[in-house]
Amino acid sequence: MIVLTILTILVTGQDAWLSGILAVLCYIGLYKMFPKSGIKGRFAFIPGAREYQLARCAGRESEGPVYSLTHVGITVVVLIEALWMHDIKDPQFGSFEVILMVLELTLMLINFVYGIRVSSGLINVYGVRRRWMWLWAFPDLRFIPALLWGFKDKYQPGWQVEDIEAELKRLASHGSATVMDEGLTVNLKDRTVTEFFQKKVLLRDIHMAIPQGHMVLLLGGSGAGKTTFLNAINGYEKAHAEVMLNGSNMYTQYKKMQYEVGFVPQAEMMRGKNTVLNTLMDAAKLRLPMDVPAADRKKRVYEVMEIFGLTPVKNNLVEKLSGGQKKRLSISMEFISNPSLFILDEPDSGLDGVMARELFEQLRKIADTGKIVIVITHTPDRVIDLFDDVIVLAKDSARTGRLAFYGSIEEARQFFGRDRMEQIVKSVNRKEEGGDGLADEFVMKYAEVQHG
């Protein structure tokens, strides 16, 4: 990065010398700061990685990618302007130069906003006065806190990046849920991706056994890993896990098990010009095994239409259906295969209270036939009496989705000390997301309960 800074200085003129020197001083300060937070000092000299690691030091890892990419983008645009545009006299390049200027200003604005968030986090971590934040917010002044916090022993972060993650790992459940012959058993060690120079753990240590006939509510704030968890269960995105449904392995026997799982996404994927009957006939061809006779497919379609009250509108076009009818049709398409596990992502989205209630009562009836129904909904309290259990996922301080609770509705109320499910979600959400910021507390508490 020092070489890149010097190159920028050389091509932009003497006016940039001072800013370049101040930038290098800032990198030197960060070189000493990073080890105080448990991060290798060399990241201070790597563009992009430096901003990301600084966000981690501040407890703002989720802001790190944008903060990093905008900084790199600004550097690239400045170099293009300096090395290329200023040496071109052809008027046709004028408009392109304007585009570059607009792009640079946009990136600078975004970077400044995220820089404020990161600097605010640093203030909290180092426990200093708020006025320090403005020194971090402006690049030419950033060297002051960087050098002081890096070289002076009296400035120490309140915690290291790895401290809380290590504690959460220590409390991780090393056991596993007992595999049931009938029902869903999930033993998920982790689900990882590689992101911004390091392996990122999306989910960790989720163990549970859900009996047949249970209707389960899946709760968690934004980014807690609900969708990732569901994708791991249905085999769409494999994790380091064992997922057993009625004694069969979802991963090693996927072709056999794909008909045993129905997944209804939030978005409705239906052709408006098709009739209800034809939509379900097409779904039957896709979701039933190839060796099922045509007569049996048609019989199953009529059974499903009757179950979901769609028989009276079987010849209607999809685009003419009401919101509730479209939702029931969307669910019917997945229910064609008569799955043992039924997963629905916000099936009540866009429905009023009465229609939503009717829909969830139908799902309750499905669970009562011995199916497992797992539902995500953002308005759980209006239908909570219909559920047996609740899964609560929470994003811990390492930004990893963890199991904060699994059990009955009444047990959840006692565990969290909240009566309403929406209050439970608020309790585990981060403070900057409008929550209480208690995710780590409840993740650790549940891990300790599991350990006995």
The residue ranges of DSSP E strands in 196-314, in sequence order, are: 198-210, 215-219, 240-245, 248-249, 261-264
Verify that 178 and 142 share a domain, yes or no. no
Q: Quick one: 322 and 244 in the same domain? A: yes
Please state which of the ranges 255-269, 330-344, 402-416 shows the lowest mean pLDDT: 255-269
Residues 123 and 22 in one domain: yes
Question: Where is average pLDDT lowest: 166-175, 265-274, 283-292?
Answer: 166-175
pLDDT tens figures, 80-99: 777 665 555 555 556 777 78
Q: Is the pLDDT of residue 209 over 90?
A: yes
Non-local CB neighbours of 21 within 8 Å, separated by 6+ positions: none
248 & 384 share domain: yes
Higher confidence at residue 126 or residue 256?
A: 126
* Residue 213: domain span: 167-451
- The predicted structure's pLDDT at residue 9: 44
Provide Rg for the chain, Cα atoms. Answer: 27
Q: Does 183 share its domain with 153?
A: no
Residue 266 sits in the same domain as residue 148 = no
Write down which residue in 158, 192, 223 finishes a domain.
158
Same domain, 122 and 210: no
Position 70 pLDDT exceeds 80? yes
Q: Are residues 383 and 242 in the same domain?
A: yes
- Burial class (CB within 10 angstroms; exposed 0-12, middle 13-18, buried 19+) of 72: middle
Number of compact structural domains in the chain: 2
Separation between Cα atoms, residue 47 and residue 49, nearest integer Å? 5
Is 107 in the same domain as 67? yes
Name the one residue in this structure whose structure tokens are 């003129």.
13
pLDDT digits (tens, 9 = 90+) for 410-421: 999 999 999 999
Task: Give percent of the chain with pLDDT exceeding 70.
Answer: 89
- 401, HSE (Cβ side, Cα atoms, 13 Å): 28
The whole-number average pLDDT for the span 17-43 is 88
pLDDT at position 31? 94
CB–CB of 231/404 below 8 Å?
no
173 — pLDDT class (breaks 50, 70, 90): low
Res 241 pLDDT > 80: yes
Helix axes 323-335, 294-307, angle to 10 degrees: 140
Residues 183 and 247 reside in one and the same domain: yes
Residues 153 and 182 placed together within one structural domain of the fold: no
End residue of a domain, out of 158, 181, 200: 158
d(CA 257, CA 182): 14
Q: Are 140 and 180 in the same domain?
A: no
- Give the count of beta carbons closer than 10 Å to the beta carbon of residue 65: 16
Which of 58, 55, 61 lies closest to 398 in space, CA to CA?
61
Pick the last residue of a domain from 91, 123, 158. 158
Question: Could you tell me the CATH number of the domain that includes residue 228?
Answer: 3.40.50.300
More confident residue, 414 or 288: 414
